[in-house]
Structure 1
Amino acid sequence: MAEDKKLEVEDASPQSSTYPYAWSPDRESELSLAQFLTKYKPSMVQDDGTKPWIWARGSKSNSRTDEQAKKEESAVGEATELLKEVTEKVEKIKNDSSIPVRSNKKTGAKSKKEVREAEQATASEKLKEISIKHGFIGGKWLIFAPSDRVDVVWSTVATSLVSGPLADTSAYLAKVATCPQNEMPHYQHVICIYIPDVYDKEAITEILRVLLRQHGITPSGVKSNLYTSIGVDSKHASGIQSTVGLRLRESPHNPHTSYPNSRAPQTWKNTAVLPDAEIKALKDEYFSTLNAAKEGKKEPSPEKANKDENEAKDVESSAKPAKAKPKPKLKPKKKAGADDPFASDDDDAGSDDKLKPPPERNASKRSAAAADDDSDDEAESKPQKKRARA
């Protein structure tokens, strides 16, 4: 049927022998995972209708038996009918003029939104019951990455799934969307990490911790394969949340750990698995470790540091110029009088006369000028005689 065909395309990995964009451990001899990731990058592969996904499988097997396939087919048929009914009810609520747009506390009337959400919550609970009844409980963690980051994120997830921390969890398969046929601005590639049971909180939590602490990746939530098979997404007309509603139950991996059943729908969002504080702490630990590793690469090893130091000393010593020999100090000259036995006292006296300053040449002129000044002063000091009257 059409639904089963869609399931095969969406959530069942194709054979790696017939689909070159799928890798599994049996291809290791012809193409290693590293070579596969380099050859087929999601940012470089464009979907032409035949290659919507690139796949990577871990060492764990989760093959479907014929009996399981029949159960899943029954679950899809039952869920499809339910989804059709819910979509019709939601549409009627929108068009029902008797239901107010806003609630009224006085009359107790509920708003369109409240009535619609109540119907959607009931449908989510019924979908969970169908999933568990038919054993169609598989699902996947969803990660969204932009085109400029998808290659790095996908390579990290695939490598971890095959030979890293994710290989020690219940995750067994991963895929990434290739580029769409028509270019879309701000396109986000979806990466799916498949898990066998979306209702096993312990296993779900373990994978989330690995993604946060070991890889610094924050997924958006968990989605049931049943939801994918019946076409429930964030834009579906029914308005049902695309992430699966959970019925917490006993963990099959730890029978001593049980979770209370709840009628209220609980979505497997990150904060439903771990508190915000722990999510932040795990990511902080990842980035702290990453920064420490980067700093460690910058610092050379002790052996290399000693070698570099010795080489630097050799270069420094060879670069220094040779020290010049000190010049001999000159002996001070002795005085002529002390060494010349023929020198006379007159010569010494003559030498003293030479040192005396010469007499001033203008001394007589200055004295004459001074005498004139004195006579003028005396003349001014004497009283002048009165002139005779004519």
Structure 2
Amino acid sequence: MAEHKKPEVEDAPPQSSSYPYAWSPDRESELSLAQFLTKYKPSMVQDDGTKPWIWARGSKSNSRTDEQAKKEETAVEEATELLKEVTEKVEKIKNDSSIPVRSSKKTGAKSKKEVREAEQAAATEKLKEISIKHGFIGGKWLIFAPSDRVDMVWHTVATSLVSGPLADTSAYLAKVATCPQNETPHYQHVICIYIPDVYDKDAITEILRVLLRQHGITPLGVKSNLYTSIGVDSKHASGIQSTTWKNTAVLPDAEIKALKEEYFSALNAAKEAKKEPSPEKASKEETEAKDDVESSAKPVKAKPKPKLKPKKKAGADDPFASDDDEAGSDDKPAPRPKGNTSKRSAAVANDDSDDEAESKPQKKRARA
């Protein structure tokens, strides 16, 4: 019996509740999804051999029975044997000198590439038959993200799966790779979105449309869980295509581009809308501006000059007031007195200086 990986190793979250890097709805009471995504970021969790993945499960269940698990193991055994045969055939084609490097229209001989691709296509169909026969038809959409973007992409995928657009599709589980044990330049984290049937094209198409239009994410393709279990990847010696669906086999390239353009147009429109004030705020600002213009256009009334208080007659309230103050209040100048004017002037001057001294407050002395 050929050695193989058990399916649950790669494509099912750990069953132990002690594994903290897996979230499901039944953990909501102790840790919300938002808290989980903040606490365990793929760019911050390093795999030490015990935590290669961070998982998030949606509300849908896709549990397997013991009987189903046995069928999947049988499928893995058959697929592993087939893969071994195909790999040997491909190697023989490569070393067969009778097969030309280039095809010939005259002789009808096929090139090495054509012969090899025919074997690989036949193997792909046989793997599909094995999958369907044993009910091992689950798989996942693959997304790759660099370390500086993986947290954002993973947050988008996990949130959408639990309570967003992906929750309305057949997708039920997602995982993201943590950081490798050893520093790897240009490392790409793989994100998997699990689906129950990789051969259900309608369900596959629905998920692709959601990723493109709602999230602006372009996945790499769809891979069968059976392929993962038997070790088929892009570098496998058999040369079998590692994905069961490529994007352009699901949707035309023009539609893929159009969906992404719609996403980014909506995103830019949302950003612009945030910059513009709301109608209520704009109306209020317009009213305030109008009031400012109207108030600036109104003529400014001159303030009335303060009325002068009439002077009181000398002697009425001020016992020290002179007769000159009373005379100064008349329109006509007072007649000049007869007699010795110089003595009278001196006396008046002395009286005026005394009045000035009385009316002015005395300054405090700086020092005694």
TM-score, length-normalised on structure 1? 0.73
Q: Which 10-residue stretch deviates more, 224-233 or 115-124?
A: 115-124
Q: Would the alpha carbon gap of residues 164 and 4 (structure 1) be closer, same or farther in structure 2, given more than 3 Å must change? A: farther
Deviation at 1:289, TM superposition (A): 1.2
**SS of corresponding position for 1:86:** helix
Check whether the contact 1:16–1:24 (CA below 8 A) recurs between aligned residues: no
Check whether the contact 2:147–2:187 (CA below 8 A) recurs between aligned residues: yes
TM-score, length-normalised on structure 2? 0.77
Post-superposition Cα deviations, 1:205-253, rounded to whole Å, max 9, x if no partner, equal 111111111111111111000000000000000000001xxxxxxxxxx
**SS of corresponding position for 2:190:** strand
Q: Would the alpha carbon gap of residues 321 and 294 (structure 1) be closer, same or farther in structure 2, given more than 3 Å must change? A: farther
- Corresponding residue for 1:269? 246
Q: Which 10-residue stretch deviates more, 201-210 or 180-189?
A: 180-189
Runs (5+) with no aligned partner, structure 1:
244-266
Q: Report the aligned-residue RMSD.
A: 16.5
Distance 2:367 2:135 in 1: 160
1:219 is the counterpart of 2:197: no
Post-superposition Cα deviations, 1:34-90, rounded to whole Å, max 9, x if no partner, equal 011111111111111111111000000000100100000000000001101111111
Q: Would the alpha carbon gap of residues 42 and 363 (structure 1) be closer, same or farther in structure 2, given more than 3 Å must change? A: same
Q: Would the alpha carbon gap of residues 369 and 166 (structure 1) be closer, same or farther in structure 2, given more than 3 Å must change? A: closer
Q: Would the alpha carbon gap of residues 349 and 316 (structure 1) be closer, same or farther in structure 2, given more than 3 Å must change? A: closer
Deviation at 1:162, TM superposition (A): 0.1
Q: Would the alpha carbon gap of residues 33 and 378 (structure 1) be closer, same or farther in structure 2, given more than 3 Å must change? A: closer
Post-superposition Cα deviations, 1:255-313, rounded to whole Å, max 9, x if no partner, equal xxxxxxxxxxxx41111111122212211111111111111111111222344455667
**SS of corresponding position for 1:353:** coil
**SS of corresponding position for 1:352:** coil
Post-superposition Cα deviations, 1:125-149, rounded to whole Å, max 9, x if no partner, equal 1111111110100000111111111
**SS of corresponding position for 1:145:** strand
- Corresponding residue for 2:83? 83
Q: Would the alpha carbon gap of residues 217 and 316 (structure 1) be closer, same or farther in structure 2, given more than 3 Å must change? A: farther
Q: Which 10-residue stretch deviates more, 182-191 or 217-226?
A: 182-191
Distance 1:209 1:354 in 2: 106
Q: Would the alpha carbon gap of residues 360 and 156 (structure 1) be closer, same or farther in structure 2, given more than 3 Å must change? A: farther
Deviation at 1:96, TM superposition (A): 1.7
Q: Which 10-residue stretch deviates more, 5-14 or 52-61?
A: 5-14
Q: Would the alpha carbon gap of residues 364 and 27 (structure 1) be closer, same or farther in structure 2, given more than 3 Å must change? A: closer
Q: Which 10-residue stretch deviates more, 300-309 or 87-96?
A: 300-309
1:367 is the counterpart of 2:345: yes
Deviation at 1:350, TM superposition (A): 43
Distance 2:141 2:275 in 1: 36
Deviation at 1:345, TM superposition (A): 49
Post-superposition Cα deviations, 1:116-171, rounded to whole Å, max 9, x if no partner, equal 11111111111111111101000001111111111111100000000001001100
Q: How many residue pairs were aligned? A: 367
Distance 1:31 1:353 in 2: 98
Q: Would the alpha carbon gap of residues 174 and 16 (structure 1) be closer, same or farther in structure 2, given more than 3 Å must change? A: farther
Check whether the contact 2:54–2:176 (CA below 8 A) recurs between aligned residues: yes
Distance 2:2 2:147 in 1: 31
Deviation at 1:99, TM superposition (A): 1.9
Check whether the contact 1:15–1:22 (CA below 8 A) recurs between aligned residues: no
Q: Which 10-residue stretch deviates more, 166-175 or 179-188?
A: 179-188
Check whether the contact 2:2–2:80 (CA below 8 A) recurs between aligned residues: no
Q: Which 10-residue stretch deviates more, 96-105 or 347-356?
A: 347-356
Check whether the contact 1:45–1:178 (CA below 8 A) recurs between aligned residues: yes
Q: Which 10-residue stretch deviates more, 1-10 or 56-65?
A: 1-10
Q: Would the alpha carbon gap of residues 346 and 307 (structure 1) be closer, same or farther in structure 2, given more than 3 Å must change? A: closer
Distance 1:172 1:389 in 2: 95
Q: Would the alpha carbon gap of residues 8 and 324 (structure 1) be closer, same or farther in structure 2, given more than 3 Å must change? A: same
Check whether the contact 2:314–2:326 (CA below 8 A) recurs between aligned residues: no
Check whether the contact 1:176–1:191 (CA below 8 A) recurs between aligned residues: yes
Distance 2:366 2:263 in 1: 129
Identity of aligned residues (%): 92
Check whether the contact 2:43–2:150 (CA below 8 A) recurs between aligned residues: yes
**SS of corresponding position for 1:84:** helix
